[in-house]
């Protein structure tokens, strides 16, 4: 791992403490710190008065201890003097009220005033800091996103209207694309089209475009800062810290497109390990061939949860490395005495003393550092499978009133989890990604499919690729509206079938189930029967089923009751050298879901990894195999490969792992 680091707030603790901290850091093999993130007032206590001496001295001092710096623009926290003097920099909520000073991310990202000041401090800071050789990278702002909701100020409204104009040209075209004919929704003036305020039930197209606009504004802000930093400090990497696994508010693919590294703030202790591994696979996939960094993770407890077992930090750090991370940063060096995060535990105690957490970080980082040279050129894990993840579909589901049962992100995470349990590595990628290297592409509920991506899938299948498509596939257009013909658009030939309609399986229809008495709806299950891989299989479908007619495909399974009894439930269609398998249900029961996935994996020739208990991972990077136990029970894992243990115990093809243990085997 290239960087072992932590976030550090010298502006808070004072210059006098830096040398002490630097020594403690080095003793813990910390070689990189992230600083400056929220320090705007300490860099510019009054408008135009810059006080960067303390920062120069801190960076120099760190440099003298051999510590590199990721310098941050402090723009997530505009100072009180700024928001007081320029109230238009503050975010306006959906209810029309303006944020007051006091938290963070209280700014309006579209505000010209905010952008002017943000550009100014970025410019001053990057010109000044570029002179330090140990400043190796820049982080823009911090966790870009709507921490207190999106802005609805008049400036945002105008920008939204301009953005729509750029997108649609004329109001008439917007009306046509949004299909505004219902409920008299036609617009006649750009001025009347406003951002979704969450308090009126607007068109799903309007909601979707509002989401797109806000995401774009944040990305645009990042791009403008990027240009300044690149100009002033061309040798440094430029990035920002995203959130994950899938951060739903900003299109991470657009955000990181022009940045140098994909960074994820991944607090292992607050999610299941399958979700964490999904996050790592997603961020690793953002910049193919590049690397990703874990920019924040906990050494203790986020907010006030219990800190992990002392060996869990190590298991997570190794997992981070196994999945391809080039850096592992702890948030944060020392627990803050005050403020909103005073209970979030740093590596050091509030008192500045090293105690339990310091020891855990130190022991782990020393081990990782000791193997740095040996492992420096490891290739990334190789994925035969890709799961397609799409912000348009995600926002489309959020924008229409449906989707409460179809948990789009949940479907992606569950698909990932099924592969994770098989120790199969996958990439999680957006539409438009080069599919060339994959054997199997999975489309969980990809409701919106563009003509271009349909063409990519066609080419992929023609050349022998396999596709597993689950549920609602290609039934809506890019504005979240249904196509006026049966689905899927652009690729009915690949499916060998048409989606004529469908039904959600939430039921109010029993004579005793009532809206007015208590809103108790029940979930209906629909029986499914058929043959997969030569075996009779049966199970049930849930949440949504499709009204399918065949047009060239073969029904492997059919619905066995309800209105669609006898209609296709799982359709296979071979095109060129490849194959498409479509499940005409949002979800299947676990057993059937496993059977379908196994069928797809087998047909595509994807091999399983070694069998392990849940949350015991086996990940390969070239000649090195990582076996990581994320559970509290010791475990023995049989690996097919020969090799010897670089870390841990590996004998006679068996890795022996204690609770939260790690074994690294080199062939």
Question: Binding of a second copy at residue 481 (CB under 8 A)?
Answer: yes
Element (H, E) at 516: helix 515-518
Question: Which of these ranges, 351-359, 385-393, 440-448, 457-465, lies near a second copy under the rule CB under 8 A?
Answer: 351-359
| Cβ atoms < 10 Å from Cβ of 85 | 12
Binding mask of the shown chain, residues 577 to 616, with x at each position contacting a second copy by CB under 8 A: -------------------------------------xx-
Q: Between 422 and 466, whose beta carbon lies closer to a second copy?
A: 422
Position among 5, 74, 553, 578 found at the interface with a second copy (CB under 8 A): 74
To a second copy, the closest distance from the beta carbon of 42 in angstroms equals 7
Position among 303, 434, 451, 590 found at the interface with a second copy (CB under 8 A): 303
Q: How many residues bind a second copy (CB under 8 A)?
A: 133
- Among positions 264-293, residues that touch a second copy (CB under 8 A) are 269-275
To a second copy, the closest distance from the beta carbon of 72 in angstroms equals 12
Active-site annotation, residues: 143, 296
Binding mask of the shown chain, residues 618 to 637, with x at each position contacting a second copy by CB under 8 A: ------------xx------
To a second copy, the closest distance from the beta carbon of 335 in angstroms equals 7
Position among 60, 112, 201, 258 found at the interface with a second copy (CB under 8 A): 201
Cβ partners under 8 Å of residue 466, min gap 6: 439, 440, 441, 578, 579, 580, 581, 600, 603, 604
Question: Binding of a second copy at residue 352 (CB under 8 A)?
Answer: yes
Contact 596, 468 (CB under 8 A): yes
Question: Binding of a second copy at residue 321 (CB under 8 A)?
Answer: no
- Among positions 26-55, residues that touch a second copy (CB under 8 A) are 38-42, 45-46
Contact 336, 12 (CB under 8 A): yes
Report the distance separating Cα 14 and Cα 26, nearest Å. Answer: 19
Q: Between 12 and 50, whose beta carbon lies closer to a second copy?
A: 12
Position among 15, 459, 503, 635 found at the interface with a second copy (CB under 8 A): 503
3-state secondary structure 538-557: EEEEEEEEEEEEECCCEEEE
To a second copy, the closest distance from the beta carbon of 652 in angstroms equals 28
Position among 367, 513, 656, 666 found at the interface with a second copy (CB under 8 A): 513
User: Residue 102 is encoded by which pair of tokens?
Assistant: 């006091």
Cβ partners under 8 Å of residue 483, min gap 6: 474, 475, 476, 477, 489
Question: Which of these ranges, 384-392, 444-452, 502-510, 597-605, lies near a second copy under the rule CB under 8 A?
Answer: 502-510
- Among positions 538-557, residues that touch a second copy (CB under 8 A) are 547
Report the distance separating Cα 14 and Cα 25, nearest Å. Answer: 16
Long-range contacts of 345-354 (CB under 8 A, 24+ apart): 345/298, 345/299, 345/300, 345/301, 345/307, 346/299, 346/300, 347/6, 347/28, 347/299, 347/300, 348/24, 352/13, 352/17, 352/20, 354/24
Question: Binding of a second copy at residue 646 (CB under 8 A)?
Answer: no
Binding mask of the shown chain, residues 324 to 343, with x at each position contacting a second copy by CB under 8 A: -----------xxxxxxxxx
Question: Binding of a second copy at residue 297 (CB under 8 A)?
Answer: no
To a second copy, the closest distance from the beta carbon of 507 in angstroms equals 4
Best CA proximity match to 346, nearest among 1, 6, 93, 4: 6
Question: Binding of a second copy at residue 235 (CB under 8 A)?
Answer: no
Question: Binding of a second copy at residue 234 (CB under 8 A)?
Answer: no
Position among 58, 122, 204, 389 found at the interface with a second copy (CB under 8 A): 204
Longest C-alpha distance within the chain, in Å? 78
Question: Binding of a second copy at residue 205 (CB under 8 A)?
Answer: yes
To a second copy, the closest distance from the beta carbon of 11 in angstroms equals 6
Report the distance separating Cα 319 and Cα 315, nearest Å. Answer: 6
Q: Dump the DSSP string for 259-300.
A: SSSEEEE--GGGS-HHHHHHHHHHHHHHSTTS-EEEEEE-SS
Best CA proximity match to 427, nearest among 281, 221, 617: 281
Position among 84, 162, 452, 455 found at the interface with a second copy (CB under 8 A): 84
Q: Between 276 and 575, whose beta carbon lies closer to a second copy?
A: 276
Position among 27, 56, 112, 148 found at the interface with a second copy (CB under 8 A): 148
Contact 115, 156 (CB under 8 A): no
Position among 19, 482, 574, 666 found at the interface with a second copy (CB under 8 A): 482
- Among positions 181-200, residues that touch a second copy (CB under 8 A) are 181-189, 191-194, 196-197, 199-200
- Among positions 237-256, residues that touch a second copy (CB under 8 A) are 245
Buried b (16+ CB within 10 A) or exposed e, 98-118: bbeeeeebbbbbbbebbbebb
CA angle centred on 427, ends 421 and 432, rounded to 5°: 145
Contact 273, 310 (CB under 8 A): no
Position among 484, 535, 642, 652 found at the interface with a second copy (CB under 8 A): 484
Question: Binding of a second copy at residue 12 (CB under 8 A)?
Answer: yes
Question: Binding of a second copy at residue 430 (CB under 8 A)?
Answer: no
Report the distance separating Cα 127 and Cα 108, nearest Å. Answer: 25
User: Residue 205 is encoded by which pair of tokens?
Assistant: 């197209």
Element (H, E) at 39: none
């Amino acid at each position: 791992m290239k960087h072992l680091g932590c976030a550090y707030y010298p502006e808070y603790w004072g210059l006098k403490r830096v040398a002490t901290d630097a020594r403690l850091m080095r003793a813990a093999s910390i070689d990189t710190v992230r600083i400056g993130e929220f320090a705007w007032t300490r860099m510019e206590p009054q408008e135009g008065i810059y006080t960067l001496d303390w920062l120069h001295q801190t960076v120099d001092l760190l440099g003298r201890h051999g510590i590199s710096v990721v310098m941050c623009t402090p723009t997530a926290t505009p100072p009180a003097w700024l928001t007081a003097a320029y109230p238009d920099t503050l975010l306006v909520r959906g209810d029309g009220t303006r944020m007051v000073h006091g938290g963070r991310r209280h700014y309006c990202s579209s505000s010209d005033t905010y952008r002017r000041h943000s550009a100014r401090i970025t410019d001053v800071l990057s010109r000044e800091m570029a002179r330090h050789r140990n400043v190796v990278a820049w982080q823009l702002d911090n966790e870009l996103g709507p921490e207190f909701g999106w802005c609805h100020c008049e400036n945002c409204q105008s920008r939204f209207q301009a953005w729509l104009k750029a997108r649609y040209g004329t109001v008439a075209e917007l009306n046509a694309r949004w299909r505004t004919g219902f409920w008299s929704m036609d617009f006649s003036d750009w001025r009347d089209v406003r951002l979704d305020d969450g308090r009126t039930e607007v068109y799903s197209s309007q909601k979707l475009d509002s989401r797109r606009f806000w995401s774009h504004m944040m990305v645009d802000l990042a791009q403008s800062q990027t240009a300044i930093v690149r100009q002033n400090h061309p040798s440094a990497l430029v990035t920002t810290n995203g959130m994950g696994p899938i951060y739903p508010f900003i299109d991470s693919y657009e955000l990181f497109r022009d940045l140098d590294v994909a960074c994820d703030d991944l607090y292992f202790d607050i999610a299941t390990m399958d979700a964490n591994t999904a996050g790592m696979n997603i961020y690793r996939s953002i910049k193919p061939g590049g690397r990703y960094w874990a920019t924040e993770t906990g050494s203790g407890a986020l907010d006030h949860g219990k800190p992990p077992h002392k060996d869990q930090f190590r298991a997570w750090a190794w997992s981070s490395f196994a999945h391809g991370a080039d850096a592992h940063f702890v948030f944060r060096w020392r627990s803050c005495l005050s403020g909103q995060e005073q209970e979030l535990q740093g590596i050091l105690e509030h008192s500045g003393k090293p105690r339990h957490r310091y020891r855990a970080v130190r022991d782990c980082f020393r081990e990782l550092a000791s193997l740095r040279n040996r492992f420096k050129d490891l290739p990334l894990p190789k994925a035969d499978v890709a799961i397609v993840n799409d912000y348009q579909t995600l926002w489309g589901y959020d924008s229409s009133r449906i989707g409460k049962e179809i948990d789009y992100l949940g479907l992606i995470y569950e698909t990932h989890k099924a592969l994770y349990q098989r120790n199969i590595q996958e990439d999680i990628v957006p539409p438009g990604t080069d599919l060339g290297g994959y054997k199997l592409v999975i489309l969980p509920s990809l409701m919106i499919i563009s003509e271009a991506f349909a063409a990519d899938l066609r080419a992929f299948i023609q050349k022998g690729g396999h596709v597993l498509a689950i549920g609602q596939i290609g039934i809506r257009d890019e504005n979240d509206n249904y196509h006026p013909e049966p689905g899927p658009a652009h690729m009915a030939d690949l499916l060998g079938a048409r989606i004529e309609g469908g039904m959600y399986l939430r039921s109010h229809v029993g004579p005793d189930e009532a809206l007015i008495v208590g809103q108790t709806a029940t979930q209906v299950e629909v029986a499914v029967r058929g043959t997969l891989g030569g075996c009779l299989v049966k199970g049930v479908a849930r949440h949504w089923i499709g009204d399918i007619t065949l047009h060239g495909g073969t029904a492997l399974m059919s619905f066995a009751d309800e209105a669609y009894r006898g209609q296709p439930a799982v359709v296979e269609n071979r095109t060129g050298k490849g194959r498409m398998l479509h499940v005409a249900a949002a979800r299947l029961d676990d057993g059937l879901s496993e059977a379908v996935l196994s069928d797809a994996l087998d047909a595509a020739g994807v091999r399983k990894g070694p069998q392990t208990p849940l949350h015991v991972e086996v990940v390969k990077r070239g000649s090195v195999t990582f076996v990581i136990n994320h559970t509290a029970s010791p475990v023995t894992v049989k690996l097919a490969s020969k090799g010897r243990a670089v870390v841990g115990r590996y004998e006679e093809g068996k890795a022996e792992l204690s609770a939260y243990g790690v074994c690294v085997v080199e062939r």
